[in-house]
């Protein structure tokens, strides 16, 4: 095969598909999750700060350092194994330890992340969780007893997953130490890679669920403003039907509302789009668990349907509402502009009619002036002709007065005919 030049991103893009393999996790195990999100959006995020923060943690344990442009990391860190991933809006730290504490979900399990290092985090904690991985007891009653001890019953979501290879449970509540709790009971013949997939999917459900709920928080934040702008649009549409309302003033008020509305749409577009993407990932991860009911208790899918789905529907409803309001404001603006254009056309027609009347008056005045000009020109013309014919008056016997009277009518006729001809020629 002849040599061919590779695309500069060929290997990078192929490697991205294999960059985040599932970890191999043996039973028993304790796992700590930490997700950090910087303030602002993805465009203004300082990704170098994420790498720098990871390097500080690895240096604290004397572990190997990642590449400066790394977006993922997995390796030994003292007695732990650390899995670090950089996402579009956040980073996740997952620490695995094969030692079980005597106290389930002991807050000391989170000490893998030093307090001083947490204080220097380039962002805020998005979520954190502790997971306890233990062998699956032979009696399901033992599992039920432990779940009642560890979780809030009314919020408990539990299910058999991956062809009943394991039982997973959580209540999606924050415990007094500030962490969520997850429990995984794995059967003895469940492979380490399969256990790693279960843990990875549980943590992804939590992180993406939390990220998607940011859209719900935004809906609550802007709900009052959206309601106010909706009422203003309705009032402006009612005002349009009132003939005494000045359309220019109504149009100015509508433009103010439209600008505020479009600004809100632009600010919320990224968050709403992100919420839709994260919501889809959450449902995909729940489906990938292939859960079946455990002891008649609600599973993850049922929990999401009852607790999570209403929030997402609220976000979707707000997004559609903003789109409809924007379209309504645009249509109202077009109608107002049409009304303003019609009224201006009527005003222009009145102005043109006024100009026609003025032009007619000017024409009449011009005709009057022309008549006066004929008299004036005739007066001077008669005088000139009289002076010219005075010598003839002595021989004709008419006298100067008679001669002047004799030439007056012909001269006036000639002047009138000349002015008429000149006006016709110009016209």
> Do 49 and 142 belong to one domain?
yes
> Percent of the chain having pLDDT more than 70?
85
> Do 173 and 235 belong to one domain?
no
Range of weakest confidence among 98-102, 106-110, 284-288, 388-392: 388-392
Separation of CA 281 from chain center: 21
Angle at CA 312, nearest 5°, toward 158 and 268? 140
pLDDT-based confidence at 399, cuts 50/70/90?
low
pLDDT of residue 356 exceeding 90: no
Q: Find the domain containing 413 and state its range.
A: 374-419
Asked whether residue 306 is domain-assigned, the answer is yes
> Do 242 and 381 belong to one domain?
no
Interval 325-336: pLDDT, tens = 888 888 877 777
Asked whether residue 3 is domain-assigned, the answer is no
Rounded to whole angstroms, the Cα distance separating 15 from 6 reads 14
> Do 52 and 196 belong to one domain?
yes
Sign of CA dihedral 323, 328, 334, 337: negative
Residue 110, both tokens:
């989170």
> Do 216 and 189 belong to one domain?
no
Q: How high is the pLDDT of residue 361? A: 78
> Do 41 and 141 belong to one domain?
yes
Asked whether residue 141 is domain-assigned, the answer is yes
> Do 101 and 246 belong to one domain?
no
Domain termination residue (choose one: 153, 180, 203):
203
Q: How high is the pLDDT of residue 144? A: 92
Domain termination residue (choose one: 181, 203, 225):
203
pLDDT-based confidence at 146, cuts 50/70/90?
very high
Asked whether residue 107 is domain-assigned, the answer is yes
Q: How high is the pLDDT of residue 207? A: 96
pLDDT of residue 363 exceeding 90: no
> Do 158 and 257 belong to one domain?
no
Angle at CA 89, nearest 5°, toward 31 and 201? 35
Asked whether residue 286 is domain-assigned, the answer is yes
Range of weakest confidence among 43-57, 111-125, 224-238, 328-342: 328-342
- What's the total number of domains in the chain? 3
Question: For every residue of the chain, which 3-state class applies, written as one string?
Answer: CCCCCCCCCHHHHHHHCCCCCCCCCCCCEEEEEEEEECCCCHHHCCHHHHHHHHHHHHHHHCCCCCCCCCCEEEEEECCEEEEEEECCCEEEEEEEECCCCCCCCCHHHHHHCCHHHHHCCCCEEEEEEEEEEEECCCCHHHHHHHHHHHCCHHHCEEEEECCCCEEEEECCCCCCCCCEEEEEEECCCCCHHHHHHHHHHHHHHHHHHHHHHHHHHHHHHHHHHHHHHHHHHHHHHHHHCCCCCCHHHHHHHHHHHHHHHHHHHHHHHHHHHHHHHHHHHHHHHHHHCCCEEECCECCHHHHHHHHHHHHHHHHHHHHHHHHHHHHHHHHHHHHHHHHHHHHHHHHHHHHHHHHHHHHHHHHHHHHHHHHHHHHHHHHHHHHHHHHHHHHHHHHHCCHHHHHHHHHHHHHHHHHHHHHHHHHHHHC
Bigger pLDDT: 382 vs 66 = 66
**Mean pLDDT score, 406-425:** 72
Give CB contacts under 8 A, 24+ apart, made by 109-115. Answer: 109/30, 109/32, 110/32, 110/34, 110/177, 110/179, 112/32, 112/80, 113/32, 113/34, 113/57, 114/57, 114/60
Asked whether residue 426 is domain-assigned, the answer is no
Distances (CA, A) of 300 to 31, 147, 288, 306, 307: 20, 15, 11, 10, 10
> Do 42 and 170 belong to one domain?
yes
> Do 252 and 155 belong to one domain?
no
pLDDT of residue 408 exceeding 90: no
Interval 298-308: pLDDT, tens = 999 999 999 99
> Do 80 and 185 belong to one domain?
yes
Residue 101, Cβ density class (10 Å: 0-12 exposed, 13-18 middle, ≥19 buried): middle
pLDDT of residue 30 exceeding 70: yes
Interval 116-127: pLDDT, tens = 999 999 999 999
> Do 42 and 189 belong to one domain?
yes
pLDDT of residue 86 exceeding 80: yes
pLDDT of residue 90 exceeding 90: yes
Q: How high is the pLDDT of residue 370? A: 64
Asked whether residue 125 is domain-assigned, the answer is yes
Residue 272, both tokens:
């709403």
Domain termination residue (choose one: 140, 168, 203):
203
Cα Rg of the chain (Å, integer)? 45
Q: How high is the pLDDT of residue 12? A: 74
Interval 250-298: pLDDT, tens = 777 878 888 888 888 888 889 999 999 999 999 999 999 999 999 889 9
- Mean pLDDT (the chain) is 85
Q: How high is the pLDDT of residue 36? A: 95
Asked whether residue 424 is domain-assigned, the answer is no
pLDDT of residue 398 exceeding 70: no
Interval 381-397: pLDDT, tens = 767 767 666 666 666 65
């Amino acid at each position: 095969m002849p040599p061919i030049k590779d695309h500069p991103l060929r290997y990078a893009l192929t490697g991205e598909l294999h960059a985040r393999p599932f970890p191999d996790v043996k039973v028993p195990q304790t796992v700590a999750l930490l997700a950090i999100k910087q303030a602002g959006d993805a465009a203004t995020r300082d990704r170098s700060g994420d790498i720098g923060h990871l390097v500080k943690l690895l240096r604290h344990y004397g572990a190997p350092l990642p590449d400066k442009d790394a977006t993922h990391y997995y390796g030994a860190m003292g007695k732990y194994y650390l899995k670090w991933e950089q996402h579009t809006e956040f980073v996740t730290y997952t620490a695995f330890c094969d030692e079980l504490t005597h106290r389930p979900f002991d807050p000391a399990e989170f000490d893998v992340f030093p307090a001083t290092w947490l204080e220097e985090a380039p962002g805020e904690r998005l979520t954190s969780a502790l997971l306890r991985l233990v062998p699956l007891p032979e009696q399901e009653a033992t599992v039920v007893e432990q779940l009642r001890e560890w979780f809030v019953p009314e919020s408990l979501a539990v299910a058999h997953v991956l062809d009943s290879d394991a039982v997973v449970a959580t209540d999606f509540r924050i415990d007094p130490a500030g962490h969520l709790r997850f429990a995984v009971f794995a059967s003895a013949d469940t492979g380490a890679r399969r256990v790693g997939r279960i843990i990875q999917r549980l943590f992804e459900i939590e992180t993406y669920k939390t990220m998607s709920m940011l859209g719900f928080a935004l809906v609550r934040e802007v709900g009052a403003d959206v309601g106010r702008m909706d009422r203003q649009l309705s009032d402006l549409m009612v005002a349009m039907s009132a003939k005494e309302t000045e359309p220019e003033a109504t149009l100015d008020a509508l433009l103010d509302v439209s600008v505020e509305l479009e600004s809100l749409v632009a600010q919320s577009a990224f968050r709403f789009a992100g919420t839709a993407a994260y919501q889809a990932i959450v449902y995909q991860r729940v489906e990938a668990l292939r859960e079946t009911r455990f002891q008649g208790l609600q599973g993850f899918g049922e929990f999401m349907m009852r607790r999570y789905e209403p929030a997402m529907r609220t976000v979707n409803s707000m997004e559609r509402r903003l789109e409809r309001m924007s379209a309504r404001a645009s249509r109202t603006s077009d109608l107002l502009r049409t009304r303003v254009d019609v009224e201006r056309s009527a005003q222009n027609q009145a102005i043109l009619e006024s100009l026609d009347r003025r032009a007619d008056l000017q024409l009449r005045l011009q005709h009057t002036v022309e008549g006066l000009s004929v008299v004036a020109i005739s007066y001077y013309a008669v005088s000139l002709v009289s002076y010219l014919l005075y010598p003839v008056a002595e021989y004709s016997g008419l006298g100067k007065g008679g001669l002047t009277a004799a030439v007056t009518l012909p001269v006036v006729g000639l002047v009138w005919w000349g002015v008429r001809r000149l006006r016709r020629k110009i016209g």
